[in-house]
């Protein structure tokens, strides 16, 4: 018995070759989409980025003001 997940490609059948290419392309596309979703889930939220930016601006201003004295 042959595996169910494999696409059998016979030498004289172009439809099987075309179908195999299309399935392979869809699998690659699916993998790319999940990779992008994973990247989006693993980054900082916007509010955390904004808080760090404001804190950096305040620290920079304080250090600049302290250097002037």
Into how many domains does the chain fold? 1
Return the pLDDT at 8: 56
Return the pLDDT at 16: 74
Domain membership flag for residue 24? yes
Domain membership flag for residue 9? no
Q: Is residue 59 scored above 50 in pLDDT?
A: yes
Distance CA 19, CA 1 (A): 22
Domain membership flag for residue 6? no
The band of 41, judged by pLDDT with boundaries at 50, 70 and 90, is: confident
Bigger pLDDT: 17 vs 50: 50
Domain membership flag for residue 53? yes
Tokens of 22: 């299309």
51 is in which domain, residue-wise?
14-68
**Average confidence score pLDDT of the chain:** 82
Return the pLDDT at 1: 43
Domain membership flag for residue 1? no
Model-level pTM greater than 0.75?
no
């Amino acid at each position: 018995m042959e595996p169910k997940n494999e696409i059998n490609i016979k030498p004289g059948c172009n439809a099987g070759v075309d179908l195999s290419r299309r399935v392979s392309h869809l699998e690659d596309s699916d993998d790319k989409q999940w990779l992008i979703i994973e990247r989006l889930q693993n980054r900082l939220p916007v509010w955390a980025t904004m808080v760090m930016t404001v804190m950096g601006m305040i620290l920079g201003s304080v250090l600049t003001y302290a250097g002037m004295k």
